[in-house]
Amino acid sequence: MTQFDKALKTGRRLTRQATTAANAALSGGEMLQAAGDVINARLGIMAAGLADPRKVDLTEMSLMSTEKVEALSASASAMAKTFGDISGRVGSSALTEAGLASKAAASIASASTPAAALQAQYSYAVGWWSRVAGQMLTLNSELLKGQADALRPIHRTAVANAKRLKK
């Protein structure tokens, strides 16, 4: 793969990340709007119940906590999966890098001239920099996806409640 092809691939990846981040921001704004609508509606329901206990909506009152627990549990599960996946990948990358560093150290130590030792060190350093840059892009992508996955159940619940309570 040429440097130009790598740059194009990286550019596409950054564009996807920007799109994911923008979608997460839009979803977060929609969720906050829905949450405000739900809070407003439920405060009205609670006030009506306080004014006349015979009119209290027990079903809606029980949903206030159970839905939150379900949404937050699903969100926490999504984040745990994301962090588990990231941890596995980072651990694997660290082992791979340790092997490459060991090979580089052997190449440097067995170089026949100081210039050859410097060349081996330079080759490892440039390769390391490229690998780290790629890993950081991957990590950023995984974290953005994890954020979206964690937000999804909370967003879904808040928006569904807002629609239901508008009736």
Q: Is residue 15 part of a domain?
A: no
Q: Across the 167 residues of the chain, what is the mean pLDDT of every consecutive 10-residue run?
A: 82 86 90 94 90 88 89 96 95 95 96 96 93 90 92 95 90
Closest CA to 12 of 137, 133, 116, 110: 137
Total number of domains in the chain: 1
The structure's pTM equals 0.76
Contacts with 115 (C-beta within 8 Å, 6 or more apart), sequence order: none
DSSP reduced 3-state for 117:
helix
> What is the rounded CA–CA span in Å between residue 156 and residue 158?
6
> What is the rounded CA–CA span in Å between residue 104 and residue 92?
18
144 within 8 A of 20, measured Cβ to Cβ: yes
Q: Express each pLDDT in 102-127 by its tens digit.
A: 999 999 999 999 999 999 999 999 99
Q: Is residue 2 part of a domain?
A: no
Domain around 123? 26-165
Give the N- to C-terminal CA distance of the chain in Å, as an integer.
Answer: 57
Closest CA to 23 of 124, 134, 155: 155
Q: Is residue 4 part of a domain?
A: no
* pLDDT (0 to 100) of residue 159: 95
* pLDDT (0 to 100) of residue 65: 86
Q: Is residue 125 part of a domain?
A: yes
* pLDDT (0 to 100) of residue 29: 93
